Amino acid sequence: MAKNWTEILSIKLKKLQDNNSGSINQSEVNKLTKEFLTTVDYYVSAKQRNVIFNQVDTISQQIAGLKKDISVMGNNILQENFIPEIATELHSVIAQTEKSVIGILDISDEIRKISAKASPPKLKEELLSHSTKILELCNFQDLTGQIIQRIIKRLTIIESTVNNIATELGPHYKLSSRLTPDSLLNGPQKEEDRPSQDDIDNLFADLPEPKS
């Protein structure tokens, strides 16, 4: 019997999310995936199971990619324990932007103090206006922090579901935990791994000219 499995799983996941106000209930995710796989077992052939696994494996690779991207901002070394690590890395992003914004707000306070002693009045007014603008522009950190919190909740649910599906499909189905290595698009590197401009210049100078 032909069924749209993606649609069925999407509806069940959304219901789970809605019922839990965005928070994950691990036992409910386990129950959902067991039920889903029981249904899959009943209806699909081994060939179709392979197709399902390949799709799930693609999602798993994307999650690995996300973790790699996020780890650039984080201070933690990536572990194989997926669910807590994504949340940890994203919380680290929030913490780092918070630290920067607090530094900026300290400077805004200093400008305000200087404006109190400044003369003539026009300069005083200008300094105060700049200090106010800095405060207004720092609104972003709160908004991005809230967006990241929502992403953490969604990713946690997706990741848990993917891992459970792979487990239920059987021991001979193993998810990829790494990206395929042939991509040149790696995004920003961690600060400690990032080469300096001098390093790049030196490397560039050492490379042979391309053959014409």
Contact positions toward other proteins, by CB under 8 A? 98, 101-102, 105, 108-109, 112, 128, 131-132, 135-136, 138-143, 145-146
Least distance from other proteins to the Cβ atom of residue 149, Å? 8
Least separation in angstroms between residue 22's CB and other proteins is 11
The three-point CA angle 18-20-24 to 5° equals 115
**Smallest separation (angstroms) from other proteins to the CB of 83:** 19
Rank residues 106 and 201 by Cβ distance to other proteins and give the closer one: 106
Q: Which is nearer to other proteins, 123 or 135 (CB)?
A: 135
Q: Are the CB atoms for 74 and 92 separated by under 8 Å?
A: yes
Q: Contact, 107 vs 84, CB < 8 A?
A: no
Torsion sign across C-alpha atoms 187, 185, 144, 129: positive
Question: Based on CB atoms, which residue is closest to other proteins, 11 or 137?
Answer: 137
Kindly state the smallest distance separating residue 116's Cβ from other proteins, in Å: 11
- Pairwise CA distance, residues 50 & 112, whole Å: 64
Judged by CB, which is closer to other proteins: 10, or 19?
19
